[in-house]
Amino acid sequence: MTTFVLVHGAWSGAHGFRHVRPLLRQAGHEVFTPSLTGLGERVHLASPQVNLSTHVRDVVNTILYEDLSDIVLLGFSYGGFVVTGALEHIGERVRHLVYLDAFVPDDGASLFALAGQAAVPPITLGEPWFIPPTPRTYDDPAEAAFSNARRVPHPIACFQEPVRLLRPLEELAFTRTYIKATADAPDAPGAKAFWAAAARAKASTAWSYHEIATNHMVPNNRPRELVDILLQLT
């Protein structure tokens, strides 16, 4: 049995993995999908104080309080920042690290910087402190209706705070995989950083690399294909 910890992306929640969880459990594995503070069913906890460190602690505490070890840790999209930040705290408990169409940041990078966004001025009282969601495209209209209705505002501080990583990912003891969704063009909004991360993984012997022919919303569109790749890591 392998223990999987799956970390969702921005504007979403644990429900984003609801098609993936049963497939992994049917194969005999344990699965944890924590919802990050202020997102998903924890949207009532959103505040200007929620930042990347908050979400890193969400994942770290799940792993520590459940006493999980020898895990496969997966970060999807923005979740790539979260799992990277978690490594300083629980890196010794990770057997394999997976980035699913995700940001792969180096030490000191913020999401805004890596995504090429313009700098956002410091938040002051009375100014917006969150970024509202935009609808995503899904293969199944029913999935689109379900998931888009559950996309919630994301605290902006999560995208402003730099991640901390003491050593380059390629120097850490565990193995690494990048899974790229190939239906999004490299010049599509927000896609450039994911294609750059994919190129980094493809060029390095420290990574394994896989592709899934769908758009960014891989867990919703291609759960079976995703699980087939993950089962190769067990």
- How many other CB atoms are found less than 10 A from the CB of residue 89? 16
Q: What is the mean pLDDT of residues 60-79?
A: 98
E strands in 104-197: 130-131, 154-155, 175-181
204 is catalytic: no
pLDDT of 125 higher than 60: no
Q: What is the mean pLDDT of residues 111-119?
A: 75
Q: Domains in the chain, ordered, with CATH?
A: 3-231 (3.40.50.1820)
Residues 6+ apart with CB under 8 A from 37: 45, 46, 50, 54, 55, 58
Q: pLDDT-derived band of residue 116, with 50, 70 and 90 as boundaries?
A: confident
Distance of alpha carbon 53 from alpha carbon 82, whole angstroms: 8
| pLDDT value of position 115 | 87
Q: HSE, CB side, 13 Å, CA atoms: give it for residue 205.
A: 0
Name 94's bridge partners: 71
pLDDT in tens, 136-190: 999 999 999 999 999 999 999 999 999 999 999 999 999 999 999 999 988 877 7
Q: Spot the catalytic one: 35, 77, 110, 208.
A: 77
Distance of alpha carbon 229 from alpha carbon 201, whole angstroms: 16
Q: Nearest CA to 5 among 32, 28, 37?
A: 32
Burial degree of 20 (CB within 10 A; 0-12, 13-18, 19+): buried
Kindly report the average pLDDT of the chain as a whole number.
94
